[in-house]
Structure 1
Amino acid sequence: MFKKIGPGVLVAAAFVGPGTITVCTLAGVRFGYTLVWAVLLSILATIILQEMAGRIGVISQNGLVDVIKEELKIKWIKNTVIGIVLGAILIGNAAYEAGNIGGATLGLEGLLGETVLSTFFPAIIGFFAFLLLWFSSYKTLEKIFVGLVGIMGVCFVVSAIITKPSLIAIAKGMFVPKLPEGSLLMVIALVGTTVVPYNLFLHASLAKEKWKSKDQLSAVKWDTVISIALGGIVSIAIVITASAAPIQEVGNVMDMAKGLEPLFGKGAIYFMGIGLLAAGITSAITAPLAAAFVASSCFGWDGGMKSKKFKLTWFIVLFLGVFFLSFDIKPIQVIQFAQVANGILLPVMAMLLLWIVNKKSVMGEFKNTLLQNIFGVLIVGFAIFLGAKSILKVIGWF
């Protein structure tokens, strides 16, 4: 089974990062099990989009940007799309990288406490991520991520089981959608942190690294479904754990661990600390990796993951994350630009993905079925809504 696991586990690791953990924690603290259906919906949407991206990667044996460049014939449209992709992924991932490393730092502080070394935690985590990216091949990274996601999953699922949740209440929250007062923004946040544009590029590029034959499409599908479903279980486990935490407000996920400590002892902090550390490290690696794959495709670099330009790109993204966090710099304008760019990119990419995966010239007999297209159109509609909300929020209209 583990030999068949592929890029899906990196995608799951990428979306179950500190941002998702924080949003799931807030959803559980504020609304209990009521919004579990939103997590389930976002996981289903992610599986559908990522399966399309993985299928395109294997059939075309190209990254998503390469296929888009080839298929968009009108020059100004092609250049506009490539510009949005570069802005959203390269600049966006550099801006968000500080949050990924910050999440891992919080986990480390939860395990070791605040010591004289705390100031150097971002640099230590950044250096660890650098070593993994510099010396690891795709196959090695895959094995490391299986281990990290496994650790993360065990920690959060065990934390949820310890709370002795009501299975009936969870089932109602999962299959009976409700929108309590003030929960709409939380639902949008839950979906927005799971359906991540850069994962589409990451998945297509990694799928072509792992699988070279159309006969392996079944493995692509099951890898996507199983890996992302496991990521979804982790997200749901966090909502369940947070629902039981006797706290009113959460600044970060470690507040939840401290809230659980009177009930479950020191074990709560250790489980949450290890889980958050694993989540932060995985996201801190996948964000620079995705940025490097996108830059490589946009500029047509040769040499794959071993290319000097490829390595320089992920190094810059990683360095900026450590730099911003170490000196407590909050590049607000850069982050706002990234949010707007990602708000535009998600619906654009969802539409392009649906268009490409229906082109016989690209996909041949492996183009979408009618059912896949129905789901795809629904997701595109929701992606437009999400993107519009993201942009309106940044400019202060939402």
Structure 2
Amino acid sequence: MGTEMNTAADSAPRTTETNSTGRQASSQPRWTGWVRNLGPGIIVVMSWLGTGDFINASVAGSNFGYALVWTLLIGTLSRYFIVSAMAKYQLCNAVGDETILDGYGRVWKGFPVGIGVTTCILGFVYVSFLTLAAATALNEVFSYVLPLGTWGIPLWAVVTTVAAFVITSRRNGHFRSLEIVSQLTMAVLVACFLWALIGTGVDFGSLFGGLFFEMPKGEAGYITAASTAVGLIGAVGGSAANLLYPYLLHEKGWKGPEHRNTQRLDLGFSTMVMFGLVLAVWVVAAETLHGTGASVSDASGLARMMEKAIGPAGPPVMWVAIFFTVFNNIVTQPRVFARMLVESLHKSNPARVDRIKARRDLTGVDDKEIFSYDRLFWILLTVMLVVPIVFSLPSMPGMVIVTMLGNSINVVTVPAIIIGLIVMTSRRDLMTPGHANKWWETTILVAIGLVGLWATYELVLSIANGLG
């Protein structure tokens, strides 16, 4: 697990050294020490990113150029506010709650189990797509030297799953493994898109213009811009993946208000990284596809876009970036989602924990680590990681059904997450003095929540139309 830092380290990490008089003298703040202590933000940001984010950015860039970049900015800020509020409750609550689900349990005792069940189902849906995407990326990268035909994708899906299980099943050093994978992912993405931006160039005038609420001309364009912004804010505001961050804080060892400043810097820096990466895809699409009539609808389209940007090396580079992006998701999401459900069951049924402790000697094991000794955790983790291999088999139907299932579950999750969060962080009896939401913070969360509810309504209509 990560090392815990003290209050002084939150504001400005310093080193001390002994001078000639034998006394310790404080040196200047070492920002390298602060950077080394970052981690949860980069892990969660890399787990938020997926091919869907890149495809959406490329679609917007190819269709509207730079005109709607402001929607990306609003969506990113919305996610920051939502996740920061979750982190604030976990770090600054006054009632001893160690995880965000403990807080949801104070809003309603059925909340934790409900969220745990829905996130596990969503985790299975997510991993089904992610495993297929990772296997496809590896198959494309190695097809020139190791052509495997129609069974290439299933075989690479097995390789991906085995590698993911090795990382997610570690009790000791799991968080450090996530940090390494996330740092590699960030490095690959930065190198990939920096190369592409050098190849395409950037129209900085249009880019900055796109940050100032520029609208495409015409009513249809306006409607599209508005719906894009609203949909983006609603999706990120209520995403179940937002719940990953508080749990990663717990694994890092950040507990208590003294870590709030470092947490905000960690999340702020990481959110800017996410904004920059998605913006880079947007710019490449705007420079290569806007005005040509071409667009991007899948991962293969992203590879073709990169070929336009940097030449023949583009597709392999993009496939490598896609693999690292989705693999980071696979090793981060299932473990946390399975943990949430198991811990919620432990909280509602303490006798289950007692039985686990009775079966084996867990002296010295923190109560919050008991989840990894519960058989249910390993069953859930195995199902979420292994069963998705089925969807990589040739001519395997059923992904549409899985998609519908995931969307249906998300309809339930979105309002619950946002409403519960607003209640938790606004109650002064639950928060330490000075950390309950101020009026403007509650206003922002309510606004994001309303947009999230609107997005949920639109999702319900799309599901109904799909079933019809």
Provide TM-score, normalisation by structure 2: 0.77
1:212 aligned partner: 255
Amino acid at match of 1:128: A
Say if 1:39 and 1:111 are closer, same or farther in 2 by CA, change over 3 A: same
Identity %: 17
1:254 aligned partner: 300
Say if 1:195 and 1:267 are closer, same or farther in 2 by CA, change over 3 A: farther
Task: Give 1:279 shift.
Answer: 0.8
Q: Deviations over 1:75-118 (max 9, x none)?
A: xxx43x44642443111220121211222233323422372144
RMSD: 2.5
Distance (Å, rounded) in 1 between the aligned partners of 2:125 and 2:411? 15
Residues 372-391 of structure 1: pairs in structure 2 closer than 5 A: 372-391=441-460
SS in 2 for 1:256: helix
Equivalent of 2:419 in 316, 336, 351: 351
1:98 aligned partner: 128
Task: Please identify which structure carries the higher helix content.
Answer: 1
Residues 182-221 of structure 1: pairs in structure 2 closer than 5 A: 182-188=224-230, 190-191=232-233, 194-195=236-237, 197-210=239-252, 211-221=254-264
Does residue 238 (structure 1) correspond to residue 281 (structure 2)? The answer is yes
Say if 1:387 and 1:42 are closer, same or farther in 2 by CA, change over 3 A: same
Task: Give 1:126 shift.
Answer: 1.4
- Unaligned runs of 5+ residues in structure 1 are 73-77
Residues 117-136 of structure 1: pairs in structure 2 closer than 5 A: 117-135=152-170, 136=173
CA contact 2:235–2:455 (8 Å) conserved in 1 = no
Say if 1:10 and 1:196 are closer, same or farther in 2 by CA, change over 3 A: farther
Distance (Å, rounded) in 2 between the aligned partners of 1:133 and 1:391? 34
CA contact 1:105–1:125 (8 Å) conserved in 2 = yes
CA contact 2:215–2:225 (8 Å) conserved in 1 = no
Q: Deviations over 1:134-188 (max 9, x none)?
A: 2342233223322322322332343234210201111112222426264555445
Does residue 178 (structure 1) correspond to residue 215 (structure 2)? The answer is yes
Distance (Å, rounded) in 2 between the aligned partners of 1:138 and 1:306? 14
- When structure 1 is superposed on structure 2, of 102-111 and 290-299 the one drifting more is 102-111
Does residue 306 (structure 1) correspond to residue 372 (structure 2)? The answer is yes
1:142 aligned partner: 179
Residues 79-94 of structure 1: pairs in structure 2 closer than 5 A: 79=110, 81-82=111-112, 84-94=114-124
Equivalent of 1:393 in 462, 465, 468: 462
SS in 2 for 1:141: helix
Say if 1:350 and 1:316 are closer, same or farther in 2 by CA, change over 3 A: same
Equivalent of 2:83 in 47, 50, 53: 50
CA contact 2:196–2:310 (8 Å) conserved in 1 = no
CA contact 1:23–1:190 (8 Å) conserved in 2 = no
SS in 1 for 2:430: helix
Q: How many residues align?
A: 392
Task: Give 1:377 shift.
Answer: 1.7
- Unaligned runs of 5+ residues in structure 2 are 1-33, 347-352, 354-366
Amino acid at match of 1:372: E
Does residue 168 (structure 1) correspond to residue 205 (structure 2)? The answer is yes
Task: Give 1:261 shift.
Answer: 2.1
CA contact 1:23–1:186 (8 Å) conserved in 2 = no
Amino acid at match of 1:268: G
Amino acid at match of 1:345: T
Amino acid at match of 1:154: A
CA contact 1:257–1:272 (8 Å) conserved in 2 = yes
SS in 2 for 1:62: coil
Distance (Å, rounded) in 2 between the aligned partners of 1:188 and 1:106? 32
Task: Give 1:331 shift.
Answer: 4.3
SS in 2 for 1:2: helix
- When structure 1 is superposed on structure 2, of 182-191 and 113-122 the one drifting more is 182-191
SS in 1 for 2:398: coil
CA contact 1:100–1:284 (8 Å) conserved in 2 = yes
Say if 1:46 and 1:146 are closer, same or farther in 2 by CA, change over 3 A: same
- When structure 1 is superposed on structure 2, of 228-237 and 179-188 the one drifting more is 179-188
CA contact 2:135–2:154 (8 Å) conserved in 1 = no
Amino acid at match of 2:387: L
Amino acid at match of 1:205: Y
Say if 1:132 and 1:218 are closer, same or farther in 2 by CA, change over 3 A: same
Higher relative contact order (CA 8 A, sep 6+): 1
Task: Give 1:357 shift.
Answer: 1.0
Q: Deviations over 1:211-247 (max 9, x none)?
A: 0232111011111111122111111111111223346
Larger radius of gyration: 2
